[in-house]
């Protein structure tokens, strides 16, 4: 039996970003990640220093908790992390789909999994230069291929600066068929420090102005609504 390492399960609340923005969603945040992005906003699900806070749970136990949180109403379940693709979420997806739940998964695209094909929405988020990580585009292409039978596969890129923006254009050129979502990076990741909504608005305005002035109309440009509403608080 697969044992999963789970940092958080919460919801329902709205999906704050990307293709399903605004959609009532249950979140399963997996513990553990093969990346260490400089601006990571979920270090509690990434850094091994937090490993003792990750609950070892069977797929059935996760499923029981999701049913409880949703009152058995079939919602969208978002698998995030950390990188959920370093664990086996196939059995959980099978349990949920059988009950009419829909699944999305957010992953950087470094590890391909057969269960990507069972998702409703596969969100691949290659990390731009500001992250300090380097994308393996061969591995990324394997993720796209693994998701071929998902209902939709999209690309989402976080943009902190002009170098990230230029990089996103190259990334899009590699996979022009994937619907593309850009979101301004959030430099305010301390859960104890309130987020400045005007700063968030300004970053969204900057990214919009940059793309429009550049006549680049391929991406949809969206903020992180959860940060706007709740700052960096966890579990919302």
Which positions make up the binding site for Mg(2+)? 42
Among 4, 28, 85, 222, binds a second copy (CB under 8 A): 222
Minimal distance, residue 130 CB to a second copy, in Å: 21
Site string for a second copy, 57-76 (x = CB under 8 A): --------------x-x-x-
Minimal distance, residue 224 CB to a second copy, in Å: 12
Among 28, 204, 224, 232, binds a second copy (CB under 8 A): 204
| Residue 112 interacting with a second copy (CB under 8 A) | no
| Residue 114 interacting with a second copy (CB under 8 A) | no
Interface of this chain with a second copy, residues 5 to 44, rule: CB under 8 A? 12-14, 21-24
Q: DSSP letter string over 10-67?
A: EEEEE--SGGGTT-EEEEEEES--S---TT-S-GGGT-GGGGGGSEEEEHHHHHHHHH
Q: Are the C-beta atoms of residues 25 and 70 closer than 8 Å to each other? A: no
Residues 6 or more apart whose CB falls under 8 angstroms from that of 52 comprise none
Please identify, using beta-carbon distances, which residue of 58 and 208 lies nearer to a second copy: 208
Euclidean distance between CA atoms 232 and 89, whole angstroms: 26
| The Cα angle at residue 231 between residues 45 and 229, in degrees rounded to 5 | 120
CA distances for 231 relative to 81, 167, 186, angstroms:
18, 27, 10
Site residues, a second copy (CB under 8 A)? 12-14, 21-24, 71, 73, 75, 181, 197-198, 200-201, 204-205, 208, 211-212, 215, 217, 219-223, 225, 228-230
């Amino acid at each position: 039996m697969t044992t999963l390492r789970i940092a958080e399960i919460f919801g329902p609340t709205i999906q704050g970003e990307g293709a399903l923005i605004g959609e009532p969603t249950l979140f399963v945040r997996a513990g553990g990640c093969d990346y260490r992005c400089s601006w990571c906003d979920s270090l509690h699900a990434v850094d091994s220093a937090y490993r003792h806070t990750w609950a070892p749970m069977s797929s059935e136990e996760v499923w029981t908790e999701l049913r409880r949180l949703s009152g058995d109403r079939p919602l969208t379940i978002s698998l995030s992390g950390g990188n959920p693709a370093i664990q086996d979420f196939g059995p959980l997806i099978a349990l949920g789909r059988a009950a009419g739940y829909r699944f999305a998964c957010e992953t950087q695209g470094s590890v391909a999994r057969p269960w990507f094909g069972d998702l409703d929405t596969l969100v691949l988020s290659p990390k731009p230069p500001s992250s300090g990580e380097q994308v393996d585009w061969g591995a990324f292409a394997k993720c796209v291929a693994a998701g071929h039978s998902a209902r939709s596969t999209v690309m989402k890129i976080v943009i902190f600066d002009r170098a990230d923006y230029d990089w996103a254009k190259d990334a899009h050129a590699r996979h022009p068929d994937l619907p593309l979502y850009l979101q301004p990076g959030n430099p305010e990741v301390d859960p104890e420090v309130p987020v400045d909504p005007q700063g968030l608005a300004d970053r969204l305005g900057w990214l919009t102005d940059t793309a429009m002035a550049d006549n680049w109309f391929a991406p949809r440009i969206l903020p992180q609504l959860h940060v706007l509403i709740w700052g960096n608080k966890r579990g919302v």
